[in-house]
Structure 1
């Protein structure tokens, strides 16, 4: 077992490893109090207790927060594409929410990263959605429909050029 820095092993019990670290706190009025942390670890699976409370020493799981930040940045940088803005934005918001929930439960340490990733992802998602809606509205407009019909019935290059001029005039009006 690795010995944390600042701890010294106790020789009182061979089955259990006791590590004690004395730390001092200066309280109001200048009095000093010595606090002691004990970590008890053994093959029998005893738990760590710090100042009379059970401490949770599972490794922190920060993956959702990091994923939210990376996907949020991707969504913001590629908002002009459906995949980049919408898919990455939705995933960033979902992973950001999951990462923030882990932080609130004490399972992660990067709650702010998760929130920032979710916000950036939401911005990318919104901008991409607005662009998609504007593009679909434009493609379903009467001007585009009449241009498509004109090009279909055009006999040659000059007719197609006239369709383009008519389309340009219709769009500008």
Structure 2
């Protein structure tokens, strides 16, 4: 029988179990357990701020590519003025996407996929913004004079039903010709 306090602070004798605080059999000064990184080695590569910025600007470029059309539709400035916003965003997304890819290739950044997605969205946003802005500008130069002429005809009619009917017939033919691709002077 043992007395209280026996075994505390004493060394293990052969055949006895392991005491508290001693490493287990086979354990020594090996690698740290999972989750306990060595302070001398970094656990992850630095993030790629250029790639993330490219992604955000590419998304904005896609979402805002309709500004050139909206500018013409609501008369909020010229098509080129509002259409320049998504074009600039697309260009910045392309530049930052390329910078992010370079950083990832050099091993300085970790999220190469984000840079690629930002680059692709920047290219798509740039192409869409240019196409929509040019289409809106072309449509405004072709349609706007006809709309102004129709407004002038209606104001000259001064509420006369016969004159209003003539305006309607005259300009419905012109707009129909525009829709069919016939030049204004041939159909009206």
- Quick check: TM above 0.5? yes
Residue 160 of structure 1 deviates from its aligned partner by 9.8
Residue number in structure 1 paired with 2:88 = 87
CA deviation map 1:21-50 (0-9, x unaligned): 649xxxxxxxxxxxxx994xxxxxxxx7xx
Alignment of 1:1-173 (within 5 A): 22=31, 39=40, 60-81=46-67, 82=83, 85-141=86-142, 143-152=143-152, 154-155=155-156, 156=158, 158=164, 162=168, 164-173=171-180
- Structure 2 alignment gaps of length 5 or more: 1-28, 33-37, 68-82, 181-188
Q: Which has the higher helix share?
A: 2
* Distance change >3 Å, CA 58–CA 80, structure 1 → 2: same
CA distance in 2, matches of 1:61, 1:160: 68
CA deviation map 1:58-97 (0-9, x unaligned): 9724111111111212222332123663232222111111
Residue 113 of structure 1 deviates from its aligned partner by 0.8
CA distance in 2, matches of 1:117, 1:166: 47
Residue 57 of structure 1 deviates from its aligned partner by 9.2
TM-score for the superposition, normalised by structure 1: 0.56
Assess if the C-alpha contact under 8 Å between 1:62 and 1:109 holds in 2.
yes
Q: Which has the higher strand share?
A: 1
CA distance in 1, matches of 2:165, 2:87: 39
* Distance change >3 Å, CA 109–CA 161, structure 1 → 2: farther
Larger radius of gyration: 2
- Structure 1 alignment gaps of length 5 or more: 1-19, 24-36, 40-47, 49-55
- After superposing on structure 2, the runs of 4+ consecutive aligned residues of structure 1 that deviate more than 4 Å are 20-23, 56-59
Tell me how large the CA RMSD over aligned residues is.
3.5
Assess if the C-alpha contact under 8 Å between 2:150 and 2:167 holds in 1.
no
